[in-house]
Amino acid sequence: MKTVVLVYSGGLDTSVCIPLMREEYGFDRVVTVTVDVGQPQDDIRQAEERARALGTEHRTVDARSEFVSEYCWPAVKANGDYQGYPISTSIARPLIALKAAEVARELGADAYAHGCTGKGNDQFRIEYVMRTLTPEIPIIAPMREGRLQPDGTREPWTRTEEIEYAAAHGLNVSHTRDRIWSIDENLWGRSIEGGRLEEPDYAPPEDIFHWTRGIDDTPSDPRVITVGLEHGCPISLDGQRMDGLALVTTMNALAGEYGVGRVDIMEDRMLGLKVRENYECPAAVVLLAAHRALEALVCTQGELRFKASVDREWGDLAYRGLWFDPLKEDLEAFIGRVQERVSGEVMIRLHRGSCTVVGRRSPWALYSEELASFDSKTFDQADSEGMVKLHGLQGRMYWSLREAQQRGS
């Protein structure tokens, strides 16, 4: 019996893959794997119901706590973003592929399948993990490979053709021709794309947002919250210690109520395509802001300058899904050493879509009020005179030589 393990979200692409595995690829046994990284529970149940209705062997893997501790918190430590937004979809894909690989090993599967298209990033992220952990198992990507034609060739699927195919096979999917949003959710962020949202000058309708309130619907009075961190990881909210899952879930609801976390960005995908993306990531925006503020308080100037380049490199690797790359491990060795001192509290003001740091404190603070204050005499300002005289010495020498050259010409 030929067995294929299908990474299954319950959406249009992956649902279409189920009958395709039998009709066009000849698999007798289709095992669907849905990995819970914070999707709505209704979506999880819907995926389970659809999979069973389509005659698959279905497994749901609850990986929410692991996602926070092993993926979100490393992203916080590295101030993980890509082109100005918190990376979220990208850091969930390696974990999803990892769980699918565990099932494939257990079952001795003959192949993997996924619903990624040939235009997106997820094909890289998912297949990289599968090929790293189980290089002997082949991978099938029906949406990328195309629709089988009567002459035996394949042509790319369109979203409209997928909807028609789903309807012909009795698949009850929520997509329509008029409203074709592609939505991906996990604990760290929610992405919305597709349809008219792909147009750079189209204002997104309010109904695409589910995690964040519109500015006019947010509370009129601001709220100041206190985020506690320990060794670079968020650990508490307003003095109440929480596990990672509870903290992220609570912060998503709280910051979303104040309209914090919406991002509308033009993103450069790995293939070079420039696409328009809308994101909601309230918890990520707040917790990353808190982490950056605390690092600025406890790290030296040199550490901050060097870590900025390390963070950019880490974010690029994470965006590309290269979770097991040795360079990522090397970068995390430096990041981890810095995080030993990133402990303390950060006060953040939430109001009308904004997230503003208004205070921070840490036992590792590289700050002295006695030295910094204009009212203090501890710092002998006369000591600066010699340094000021030498400031920009080489540049001044260049300017003098340039002036002399111009006078002589």
195-227 confidence digits (pLDDT tens): 889 899 999 999 999 999 999 999 999 999 999
pLDDT for residue 372? 59
Provide the token pair at 315: 């974010």
Phi/psi at 210 (nearest 5 deg)? -120, -20
C-beta separation of 263 from 204 below 8 A: no
Give CA–CA dist 52/406, Å, rounded: 83
- In this structure, what is the dihedral angle of CA atoms 267, 186, 194, 281, given to the nearest 10 degrees? -50
Give the pLDDT band of residue 381 (cuts 50, 70, 90): confident
Rounded to an integer, the average pLDDT of 333-345 is 98
DSSP E strand stretches across 231-313: 233-237, 240-241, 262-268, 274-280
Which residue do the tokens 């003095």 mark?
239
Which residue do the tokens 């029906």 mark?
142
Provide the token pair at 295: 């690092």
For residue 287, pLDDT over 90 is answered with yes
Phi/psi at 355 (nearest 5 deg)? -130, 105
Provide the token pair at 207: 């109904």
Give CA–CA dist 398/389, Å, rounded: 16
Angle, CA of 196, 262 and 241, to the nearest 5°: 145
Provide the token pair at 180: 């074709």
Catalytic (active-site) positions: 13, 93, 122, 182
Q: Which residue has the higher pLDDT, 193 or 224?
A: 224
Q: What is the pLDDT of residues 396-405, one digit of tens each?
A: 999 999 999 9
Phi/psi at 345 (nearest 5 deg)? -130, 145
Give CA–CA dist 343/14, Å, rounded: 43
pLDDT for residue 181? 78
Q: What is the pLDDT of residues 139-175, one digit of tens each?
A: 999 999 998 888 888 888 887 888 888 888 887 666 5
DSSP state of 39: -
Give the pLDDT band of residue 182 (cuts 50, 70, 90): confident
55: closest CA among 72, 32, 36, 75? 32
Handedness of CA 77, 78, 84, 90 (dihedral sign): negative
pLDDT for residue 250? 98
Give the pLDDT band of residue 119 (cuts 50, 70, 90): confident
For residue 289, pLDDT over 90 is answered with yes
For residue 127, pLDDT over 90 is answered with yes
DSSP E strand stretches across 320-392: 344-351, 354-361
Give CA–CA dist 246/345, Å, rounded: 18
pLDDT for residue 56? 95
For residue 409, pLDDT over 80 is answered with no
pLDDT for residue 373? 57
Residue 44: CB atoms within 10 Å = 18
2: closest CA among 30, 43, 24, 32? 30
For residue 108, pLDDT over 70 is answered with yes
